Structure 1
Amino acid sequence: MDFSGIPRNEGEHDIPRSILAPMRIRRMSRMITVLAMALTTALAGAVESGAEESGPPDRQLLFYNHAYGVLDRETADAVEHSAYLRDFANFEVRTTTGAGGVTWTGRYLMGRETYFELFGVGDLPGRDGTLGTAGMGVSTENAGDLATVIERLRELGVTEPLELLQTRDFGDGVPVPWFDAVLTTDQYDKFGMWAMEYRPEYFADPRSKTEPASHPGDVGRERYLPDDYRDHLMRDVTGIHVAVTARDAANTVPLLRAGGFVVQSVPGGGVVALRGGTTIWLDAVPLDEVGLRRVDMSLNRPVSYRHEERIGRSTLVVGPGSRAVWAFGDPA
């Protein structure tokens, strides 16, 4: 996870301290409540009428980068100690130090361009470590595109988006600029999405172990992730399904649209975002039903068999063919 958490005021989440407190905050949104209410109303109307909300018609600026979810302790421990996952994917358990010395330990499954990370209850501080908490980062492939995303957000009514800088400490106590980020709001229930653009200082640091640029302005996901995925079955995340509150879904829509995703309403509430190689599905549910539901993955090569691996309270199904599906079920 690139953003970890802190204890909250009762009844509401703010942005985690690892994002907000140690970072350089350029602008604070003063229209959070109005925006959330307006977008929730718009989404509800779209669901009832079957209308579609689409992103801008020009090129895609944002792409799924990674997502995280907080699982029950049994499942998180089973993930951490699974021998199968170490064979299936480029898998590691890693502790990261971010801005302000905040650390988090995640279970990572990394592909060619995309990845996801899993936590157990209590792995993150405060309410961010509670069952069902989740988040997602969408990122640019070309330097400067995040600025265009911010312009689009303002055109969509997010007049003062929240802009942040995340850093990373490689162990010497000297923070290195990692990526710039932007959010539509600094408040959420259990799910938040941010747009991000990797910094050239991070790529230039040999400790980042990143690849050379393939073209001028390359800040892409493939450059950021290692090529160890080639030695495993998992190639990339092709779909991510998260159950979130209506407010969290509403706060996410402008960022998806600004990034070029085609955003459609879905029966029962929530949205599905298309384009960019990874389908993002957000169900709108009550607060006590939120959580990571499913991850769809492509494989490096097709398999002729169907393998079902029970991991804690989750089930990973691999094959037949060139895909795998990991279902996490209800968070309760």
Structure 2
Amino acid sequence: MTVRRALQMIMVVALALAGAVQGGVSSAQAEDGGTVGGRQLLFYNHAYGVLDRETADAIEHSAYLRDFANFQVRTTTGSGGQTWTGRYLMGRETYFELFGVGDVPGKDGTLGSTGMGVSTERRGDLATVLARLREQGIRDPVEFQQTRDFGDGVPVPWFDAVFTTDQYDLFGAWGMEYRQEYFADPRGNTEPGAHPDDVGRERYLTDAYRDHLMRDVTGIRLAVTARDLANTVPLLKAGGFEVRSLPDGGVVAKGGGTTLRFDAVPLDQVGLRQVEMSLNGPVSYRHEERIGHSTLAVGPGRRAVWTFGDQEQRASR
């Protein structure tokens, strides 16, 4: 779900990271390793990427993807009545969303635009994330509530979100916590909670993944600008990810079974580069599916890797 575009409607900015220190978060913060401390509070929920039109259309009409994953193409109405249509591959706890150039108005519909949500598993943990952000010097994190309209014109509280700055290039990350009102609405098709404070990802997603190969997202690789990366690191640290800087300026963040890899690149090279997925069971073969300007490699074993960003896609900028 494209939270950043919802914030555009409500706050006349995109769902970028919000708030922060004057002029945004300094790049020096991205160079510090480790975490803020304490248990992990935020976990990879989903990410999205804007692809070239040929690849997006090929994904939308792929028969293979409908067999490989719990795959959907759907239009969602969020806060302020803004709508977006995405191509979704959903697992047990995690998912990702794909758009084509121009599917979203403004720069959020630009080739290479990306975003990522990291969410809590227990009600109330987002408040602790906010406190941890302030400990890092993020004086004014912006808090936002997203809603969802199921078609009757009555918005239902969906989740609360927090961002670190409203200054971004083409990538934004946000912390989020699902609302109990959403779980209580039968139209959300969610599962019962394991305990009273359960607002977890597994509860949010259905069990339809069991009928397909794809189980979950285990790794995401995104190419983002240095500024967008610097604005993201404090959120990851506040969420309890183990953050490690790379010699080339990139960052790897680990926690909760998903590895997040960020490459620091010039603005004209940003975009979704790779998605790694676990499978529900081992396969004895290796299958490569060419989908537009991308390649999905499945197996052998319990792993699949989808690679994006071919040279043809770069040339279309």
Shorter-chain TM band: over 0.9
Aligned to 1:271: 251
Paired residue type of 1:31: V
CA distance in 1, matches of 2:220, 2:65: 18
CA distance in 1, matches of 2:295, 2:286: 13
Deviation of the 1:206 alpha carbon: 0.6
Say if 2:11 is the partner of 1:20: yes
List structure 1 segments (4+ residues) > 4 angstroms apart after TM superposition.
Answer: none
- Residue 118 of structure 1, aligned match among 88, 98, 103: 98
Cα contact 2:149–2:156 (8 A) shared by 1: yes
Say if 2:21 is the partner of 1:41: no
Deviation of the 1:126 alpha carbon: 1.2
Deviations 1:253-312 (A, max 9, x none): 000000000100113112110111100111100000000000000000000000000000
- Residue 277 of structure 2, aligned match among 297, 312, 320: 297
Aligned to 1:146: 126
- Residue 201 of structure 1, aligned match among 181, 197, 209: 181
Cα contact 1:54–1:257 (8 A) shared by 2: yes
Say if 2:169 is the partner of 1:179: no
Could you state the TM-score of these two structures normalised by the residue count of structure 2? Answer: 0.94
- Residue 38 of structure 2, aligned match among 42, 53, 58: 58
CA distance in 1, matches of 2:110, 2:12: 21
Paired residue type of 2:237: R
Q: Taking structure 1 as reference, are residues 230 and 314 closer, same or farther at Cα in structure 2, changes over 3 Å only?
A: same
Deviation of the 1:21 alpha carbon: 4.6
CA distance in 2, matches of 1:135, 1:215: 30
Say if 2:73 is the partner of 1:73: no
CA distance in 1, matches of 2:20, 2:296: 43
CA distance in 1, matches of 2:37, 2:210: 34
Cα contact 2:13–2:166 (8 A) shared by 1: no
- Residue 77 of structure 2, aligned match among 94, 97, 112: 97
CA distance in 2, matches of 1:278, 1:2: 20
Cα contact 2:9–2:82 (8 A) shared by 1: yes
SS at match of 2:28: helix
Paired residue type of 1:41: A
CA distance in 2, matches of 1:261, 1:65: 13
SS at match of 1:188: coil
CA distance in 2, matches of 1:164, 1:4: 10
Deviations 1:186-239 (A, max 9, x none): 120000000000000000001111001111200000000010000000000000
Cα contact 1:19–1:164 (8 A) shared by 2: no
Say if 2:241 is the partner of 1:256: no
Paired residue type of 1:86: R
Say if 2:28 is the partner of 1:2: no
Paired residue type of 1:140: T
CA distance in 2, matches of 1:196, 1:30: 17
Say if 2:41 is the partner of 1:88: no
Paired residue type of 1:248: D
CA distance in 2, matches of 1:4, 1:60: 24
CA distance in 2, matches of 1:69, 1:18: 20
Cα contact 2:20–2:138 (8 A) shared by 1: no
Unaligned runs of 5+ in 2: none
CA distance in 1, matches of 2:235, 2:3: 18
CA distance in 1, matches of 2:230, 2:65: 34
Cα contact 2:224–2:265 (8 A) shared by 1: yes
Deviation of the 1:18 alpha carbon: 3.8
Deviations 1:154-193 (A, max 9, x none): 0011011010000000000000000000000112000000
CA distance in 2, matches of 1:292, 1:230: 26
CA distance in 1, matches of 2:205, 2:74: 14
CA distance in 1, matches of 2:119, 2:11: 19
Deviation of the 1:32 alpha carbon: 4.0
CA distance in 2, matches of 1:134, 1:87: 26
Q: Taking structure 1 as reference, are residues 311 and 158 closer, same or farther at Cα in structure 2, changes over 3 Å only?
A: same
Paired residue type of 1:92: Q
- Residue 168 of structure 1, aligned match among 136, 143, 148: 148
CA distance in 1, matches of 2:296, 2:7: 30
Paired residue type of 1:128: D
Deviation of the 1:65 alpha carbon: 0.1
SS at match of 2:131: helix
